[in-house]
Amino acid sequence: MTDSHTDSGTAAHSAAAIAAARLRAVEESTATLLRETGGLTPQAVTEPSALPGWTKGHVLTHIARNADSLVNLLNGARTGEDIPQYASPTARDEDIALGAPRPLAEQLADLAASHERFMAAAAQLPDEAWTVQIRHRSGYLFPAYELPLKRQMEIEYHLVDLGADYTPGQWPTGFAEEELPRLAEQFEKTEGLPTLTLAATDTDQRAALGTGPEQLTVQGPVRALAAWLSGRSDGHGLLVHRDGTELDHTALPQLPPMG
């Protein structure tokens, strides 16, 4: 007979180990964030980012406020309270708009301080708290041990969105490897897309998406595949195979916006 207490303890230990590894990845990505943003010019906060309607100041402020929103979820996992990620959808947008025009030095200090708050909140969680189901701002539930990965996603994607010198080709390999299947799954049943088989040439990973009768195989480095799926690239450098014919990235279908 299996001891349920032993099972729950094993699950908690496993969840905590996953979280710990991902928190180390967050530390590394944050170091990259602070290094890359430290090279921005003071006027960069008013320059356009790669996100429509957002300046680089909007992106920087969003990254900082996201850290604080995840602190709310970490505290909820620790205390058992249903603490919302943001006070309200409008409060989230208002905070970003309010913080966007701040001087660069203030933005950078905010990034560093919000990261420290996030890591401090994570350090307070006992092992069992990492298994608690928490609610994302869009409504779905997920286990707390996924929070560090969500934080790393915000950092790595928005570093690219800043439109500075950081590109998907600089993403940590482990991050791109985790993102490829997650991103592909979002488009797995998308109607109107041909059936796509993605093959990473540097990690031997494969993923499938789309449901259409046309069948394409897309090959390239895992970072390039993840960049295309996430909308951070037009697929330049990827090879497309159709009926034994090798084509370039212009044969890729148009992906719908990610949900």
Contacts 24+ apart (CB under 8 A), 245-250: none
Angstrom CA distances, 46 to 43, 57, 90, 114, 116, stand at 6, 6, 22, 22, 26
Type and span of the H or E element at 68 = helix 56-79
CA distance 200 to 184: 13
Do the strands 194-200 and 212-220 form a parallel or antiparallel pair, or are they unpaired? Answer: parallel
What's the pLDDT score for residue 1?
A: 38
What's the pLDDT score for residue 189?
A: 82
C-alpha Rg value of the chain to the nearest Å:
20
User: Under 8 Å CB-to-CB from 221, ≥6 apart: which residues?
Assistant: 169, 200, 201, 202, 237
Per-residue pLDDT of the chain (259 residues; tens, 9 = 90+): 345 555 668 999 999 999 999 999 999 999 999 999 999 999 999 999 999 999 999 999 999 999 999 999 999 999 999 999 999 889 999 999 999 999 999 999 999 999 999 999 999 999 999 999 999 988 889 999 999 999 999 999 999 999 878 999 999 999 999 999 999 999 988 888 999 999 999 998 999 999 888 899 999 999 999 999 999 999 999 999 998 899 889 999 998 876 5
Q: Which domains does the chain have, with CATH numbers?
A: 4-166 (1.20.120.450), 174-251 (3.30.1050.20)
CA-CA-CA-CA dihedral for 152, 155, 157, 160, to nearest 10: -140
Quote the pTM value: 0.92
What's the pLDDT score for residue 3?
A: 56
Contacts 24+ apart (CB under 8 A), 16-22: 16/125, 16/127, 16/130, 16/145, 18/130, 18/145, 19/122, 19/125, 19/130, 19/144, 19/145, 19/147, 19/148, 22/145, 22/148, 22/149, 22/152
Tokens of 214: 């046309």
Dihedrals phi, psi of 19, to nearest 5 degrees = -60, -40
- From the number of C-beta atoms within 10 Å of its C-beta (0-12, 13-18, 19+), residue 246 rates as exposed
What's the pLDDT score for residue 39?
A: 92
Q: How far is CA 135 from the centre of its chain?
A: 17
